[in-house]
Amino acid sequence: MTDPSDPQRRRWLLAGAGTAACLALPVSAMSLASPQTTLARVRSGRIAGTVEDGIHVFRGIPYGADTAARRWQAATREPAWRGVRDALDYGPSAPQRGGEGPGSEDCLRVNVWTPALRDGARRPILVYIHGGGFTTGSGSDPLYDGGALCRSGDVVVITLNHRLNAFGYLHLRDLGDASFAHAGNVGQLDLIQALEWVQQHADEFGGDAGNVTVFGQSGGGAKIATLMAMPAARGLFHRAWTMSGQQVTAAGPRAATQRAELFLGALNVAPSELARLRSLPMQALLDAQSVRDPSRVESSALYFGPVVDTVNLPRHPFWPDAPPQSAHIPMVIGNTRDETRAFLGNDPDNFALTWDTLPARLRTQHFVDLDPVVVVAEYRRLYPDYTPSEVFFAATTAGRSWRGAVEELEVRAAQGTNTWAYQLDWYPRTDEGARLRAFHTLDIPLVFGNTGVSGAKTGDGEDARAVAATMRDALLAFARNGDPNHAGMPTWTPYSMTARETMVFDATARLEHDPRGGERMLYRQAPFLQRGTQ
């Protein structure tokens, strides 16, 4: 029996009393009342959330125990609690450098939005996996708020946090004892544990355990691509929607071990002393990640990402073909037209390039080992009206990220007819929009229907809301039916090698065949290498 002196219990009783009182108030008085409290039961105890504009919201629910005691090991189940635990606030981010850091090793949390609880409605469940590569980010960004998707599509939306960077992907298997056997992929194993939690609690949150869509942008898409090749993820999700996030290859064990040795060197820890890593301060492990990665042309910190360890990840995600275990899973693969303006568009020098200075700038930012002179000449032939800066942004976009999307689309097309491609061309007609255009991450507030949320660079004008409705409804249709087609846009045909059908989301959506085909042919002159995995 619950202890009535428990402070969480007292908060729940007070909230319940407030809710009961609201029922007796007239509408005018109810509008001034505090948010309604809602109660759910999960495997480790009861949780109290809020009802926000008709949607039940639970934030910061643990799906695993504090990982500080199990560094570089699979997480254990979260401990049970007595009474009612508040699920009102987002949990801590994973340990990381940057704006969302330093975070906490007690970071395994999910956030849930649902129209109803325990009503047997079997709604589609959409699980969003955040970006930030494999290094930064969390599921707590306001742009990921699932309320609008729930209200538009009668679905359940879930976001989550998991271990990142060296905490999630430091490959120590070949340097340590058996306790480090899974170290290079524990960030992915966290995702699998979260998806298992989703399956277990689908009924409680009004969802369908047999209809789970994973969707994610940038690193989130790359994590999804990797899950599609992980045997332990089989059966945990049924559709996949990736946005500007590809993972054609993963790190091999040799390269991942070499990076681990550089990381240990920065910590002055010998391979024979790996046990020391488990007692070092979290901040020391974060600081050591600033060591320069030897595989990068530009100065960049150590890369950490999934490792082909032959057990958890027995093959590369999308090389030499698409993973057979996921052939039956419908998939959408999308990109934005001007990806790299998000990374390179804040440097005024990149808008002042000349034909003489462009080749040197491409050498450091292109990430494809093609002669920049050849690249520039071909872009000038394809797009004679482009300025040198427009060529720079187009070429870096094609060389950095879009190329990986094409690789995935081609091997999926060879496997079946259940893959759709999109390209986002629309951007807001503002001064900032003219500079950044359809940059990396612009599609996030559009698919979530969150153009009015603070931080959405789409703006909340009529044009932004119209594009958002088209993209959001495609995601909702895909989650419900495994097909993104809906009445608000032209027929979206699956991607094929013969026509390379691609839905272009612009002020008016349109289906194109092989958009940017000339650029695609240009980059076929060099083999694709997933950055950081060599």
Write out the catalytic residue numbers: 218, 339, 440
Task: Determine the Cα–Cα distance for residues 114 and 121; give it in Å rounded to an integer.
Answer: 11
Task: Determine the Cα–Cα distance for residues 158 and 273; give it in Å rounded to an integer.
Answer: 39
Provide the pairing of β-strand 207-217 with 123-129: parallel
Task: Determine the Cα–Cα distance for residues 95 and 56; give it in Å rounded to an integer.
Answer: 29
SS3 content of the chain, % helix, strand, coil (to 5): 40, 15, 45
- Whether 368 contacts 394, CB under 8 Å: no
- Closest CA relative to residue 333, chosen from 258, 403, 410, 422: 422
Burial of 133-147, coded b for 16+ CB within 10 Å and e otherwise, reads: bbbbbbbbbebbbbb
- Residues forming a β-bridge with 51: 36, 56
Which class for 409: exposed (0-12), middle (13-18), buried (19 or more C-beta within 10 A)?
Answer: buried
User: H or E segment at 94?
Assistant: none
Residue 262, number of CB atoms within 10 A of its CB: 16
Sign of CA dihedral 307, 223, 205, 327: negative
- Closest CA relative to residue 241, chosen from 497, 524, 474, 41: 474
Which class for 349: exposed (0-12), middle (13-18), buried (19 or more C-beta within 10 A)?
Answer: exposed
Task: Determine the Cα–Cα distance for residues 64 and 43; give it in Å rounded to an integer.
Answer: 11
Sign of CA dihedral 344, 345, 346, 347: positive
Task: Determine the Cα–Cα distance for residues 167 and 162; give it in Å rounded to an integer.
Answer: 10
Task: Determine the Cα–Cα distance for residues 321 and 259; give it in Å rounded to an integer.
Answer: 27
Angle between helices 186-201 and 219-227 in degrees, nearest 10: 80
Sign of CA dihedral 241, 469, 144, 454: positive
- Closest CA relative to residue 217, chosen from 450, 432, 460: 450
Q: Which amino acid is at 181?
A: A
Task: Determine the Cα–Cα distance for residues 245 and 281; give it in Å rounded to an integer.
Answer: 32
CA distances (Å), origin 411, targets 26, 234, 240, 408, 459: 61, 19, 15, 5, 36
